[in-house]
Structure 1
Amino acid sequence: MVMLYGIRNCDTCRKALKWLESAGIEAGFHDFRRDGVPEARVQHWLQTLGAEQVISRRSPTWRKLGDADRARVDTAPVALVQEWPNLIRRPVLEDGGDVVVGFREAEYAERFGGGAA
């Protein structure tokens, strides 16, 4: 089973969940707002993809941060996203050991062999 991490009311997360369901792919969902940001998962994502892929510097939340918080992206990125979960690009899909950030239908179709029905 694949695992999708995000925020339940995020349009992109909903699109990804709907795509997975229509493709017959069983997926769990972890809501950052309701369930928190799992430290071990974020560390894995950062090690696998890097902060540039995981943390959105174009988000409204990023623009609201002060310079001290923005500097934490280099010094304490896990703590930063645990405090500000909206900074994580969504959704984050874990499929085995692979991590994919964002939802692009073509990428999901290639990964899961085909596409949504």
Structure 2
Amino acid sequence: MIVYGIKTCDTVKKALRALEAAGHAPVLRDVRAEPLSAAEIAEFQAAFGDRLINRASTTWRGLSEAERAAPVPELLAAHPTLMKRPVIRGVELTLGWDKAAQAAQGL
């Protein structure tokens, strides 16, 4: 099970703790330290579409209108912290840490 996110993100920390408590062995992939590959970005975009971009983030608010208009792959390649977190590759591929994502991961 791979949890894609940022090690300082509270939501990612919460997800990791819950997954470990449920008996899973999640591995954190810090997308800031190890950016997503083009293939991973394409896979995540195919699964989640524009929801993959966190438009409530500080990073998003700091972008110009021209930068915001860039395609999702370009945005994530240039600004990995724009990714909504976490993306979990476990029982199935999920985005975020809401009740639906928790249920999909067997919690």
If the length of structure 1 is used for normalisation, what is the TM-score?
0.82
Separation of aligned partners in 1, 2:30 and 2:17: 16
Separation of aligned partners in 1, 2:14 and 2:95: 14
Corresponding residue for 2:66? 68
Provide structure 2 residue ranges, at least 5 long, that are not aligned to the other structure: none
Equivalences for residues 63-102 of structure 1 within 5 A: 63-72=61-70, 76-95=71-90, 98-102=92-96
**Total equivalences in the alignment:** 107
Higher helix share: 1
Considering only CA atoms, is the larger Rg found in Structure 1 or Structure 2? Answer: 1
Stretches (4+) displaced over 2 A: 106-113
Separation of aligned partners in 2, 1:112 and 1:91: 12
Separation of aligned partners in 2, 1:33 and 1:109: 24
Equivalences for residues 46-57 of structure 1 within 5 A: 46-51=45-50, 53-57=51-55
Corresponding residue for 1:35? 34
Corresponding residue for 1:3? 2
CA RMSD in angstroms comes to 1.6
SS in 2 for 1:100: strand
Provide structure 1 residue ranges, at least 5 long, that are not aligned to the other structure: none
| 1:67-108 deviation line (CA, Å, top 9, x unaligned) | 111110xxx311211111111000111125x3211112x335
